[in-house]
Chain A
Amino acid sequence: MSKNKPFKLDEINKKSPFKVPDNYFDDFAKNMQHQIEDEPHAIVIPFMTRIRPYLYVAASLLIIFSITFVALNTSEKEENVYAKKNSDSIITPSTQVASTSTVSDELVEDYYSLDDEELFNEVFDEEFDQI
């Protein structure tokens, strides 16, 4: 396309830029024949309507994954803060599992009802007592 000459439509390739899937027309004719034979008053379900249920499922899954991801991320961050504050006493995952398996439900509830500051104080006091 020259910048100086006025533009003329002939400059554009007239060949159709559109394509169809392989065997589209063969399949289309067969499909139409079935529709006419099976249901004399067939109705076409538009593409968007056909895929709408799948879109709903995909959207629901996305929401569930997002919530799970956010929840996991948040708890991981809390764990990191806790670990940082107690860098002197490193708790390995194996000791965590071992300890949680032996604690009672009441203790677990108490643990979750503490906020960060209370938790820190409690752990700090315990360690202090042990010295």
Chain B
Amino acid sequence: MADDKQEIELMALLQDEKQKSKAFNQVVLKYQQQLYWQIRKMVLNHDDANDVLQNAFIKAWNAIDSFRGESKLSTWLYRIAVNESLTFLSKQRTLHIGDDLEDVMINKLEADSYFDGDELQLKLQKAILTLPEKQRLVFNMKYFDDMKYEEMEAILGTSVGALKASYHLAVKKIEAFFEEEKTL
């Protein structure tokens, strides 16, 4: 409830030309971490996540006048961050034609000084990369952030039933990946 009140106040400030940039800075401060981690789990590398996060906030800033509050501000920002992540990955796929983008990403992650996962955590990232991009989003939101399906529905525009099925399938695929690795 406190969050809703704060969001209403922020929205009022964002509509005031004189207060707009200050209010947007508050938006950045409030949501940067949630959005960063969401993006980071998709692009894996810190430098790439930083670029995508900046892009997401700049898109939000440029479109803030058209935001009418039909959804929660956080949902709207998440949607922008998700779109920016998917756009980034699609550009990377075009840039690395002929290579397996997932292999490129894992290599980059292994070289990333801002990743200190153990062997199993690295293997989990490899397993997650075998999922289709939208299923990766669903898995990350549920498994790591324990996000409510209703919230995910608002961000991804997919029904709760489909999201539950997608998550269940993602878990099965990941467990199967680990089982297969055992036999190697």
Residues from chain B with Cβ under 8 Å of A31 in the complex: 54
Residues from chain B with Cβ under 8 Å of A41 in the complex: 62
Interface size class of B (residues with CB under 8 A): 35 or more
Q: Is B46 an interface residue (CB 8 A)?
A: yes
Q: B28, A18: Cβ atoms under 8 Å?
A: no
15 residue pairs of the A-B complex, CB under 8 angstroms, read A1-B120, A9-B175, A11-B120, A12-B121, A16-B37, A17-B115, A19-B114, A19-B116, A20-B36, A25-B36, A32-B57, A33-B21, A33-B25, A35-B54, A36-B25
Give Cα A52–Cα B175 distance, bound, in whole angstroms: 40
- Additional 10 contacts, C-beta under 8 A, given A25-B36, A40-B61: A1-B120, A3-B182, A6-B179, A9-B174, A17-B118, A19-B46, A29-B32, A46-B51, A47-B48, A47-B50
Within 8 A of A (CB), among B29-66: 29, 32-33, 36-37, 40-41, 46-48, 50-51, 53-55, 57-58, 61-62
| Least CB distance, B87 to chain A, in whole angstroms | 12
Residues from chain A with Cβ under 8 Å of B115 in the complex: 17-19
User: Considering only CB atoms, which chain B residue lies closest to A8 in the complex?
Assistant: B175
Within 8 A of A (CB), among B115-172: 115-118, 120-122, 124-125, 143-144, 171
Residues from chain B with Cβ under 8 Å of A44 in the complex: 51, 54-55, 58
Q: Is B24 an interface residue (CB 8 A)?
A: yes
Identify which of A19, A29, A47 contacts B47 (C-beta below 8 A): A47
- The interface on chain A, measured as residues whose beta carbon lies within 8 A of the other chain's beta carbons, has a size of 33
Q: Is A43 an interface residue (CB 8 A)?
A: yes
Interface flags, B82-122, vs A, CB<8A=1, else 0: 00000000000000000000000000000000111110111
Residues from chain B with Cβ under 8 Å of A7 in the complex: 175, 178-179, 182
Give Cα A43–Cα B41 distance, bound, in whole angstroms: 23
Identify which of B21, B125, B171 contacts A9 (C-beta below 8 A): B171
| Least CB distance, A76 to chain B, in whole angstroms | 37
Residues from chain B with Cβ under 8 Å of A54 in the complex: none
Residues from chain A with Cβ under 8 Å of B61 in the complex: 36, 40
Give Cα A28–Cα B122 distance, bound, in whole angstroms: 27
Q: Is A123 an interface residue (CB 8 A)?
A: no
User: Considering only CB atoms, which chain B residue lies closest to A26 in the complex?
Assistant: B29
Give Cα A24–Cα B28 distance, bound, in whole angstroms: 13
Residues from chain A with Cβ under 8 Å of B33 in the complex: 25
User: Considering only CB atoms, which chain A residue lies closest to B146 in the complex?
Assistant: A14
Within 8 A of B (CB), among A15-63: 16-21, 24-25, 28-29, 31-33, 35-37, 40-44, 46-47
Q: B28, A13: Cβ atoms under 8 Å?
A: no
Identify which of B53, B114, B116, B118 contacts A21 (C-beta below 8 A): B114
| Least CB distance, A8 to chain B, in whole angstroms | 7
Residues from chain B with Cβ under 8 Å of A17 in the complex: 115-118, 121-122, 125
Q: A14, B24: Cβ atoms under 8 Å?
A: no
Q: B25, A32: Cβ atoms under 8 Å?
A: yes
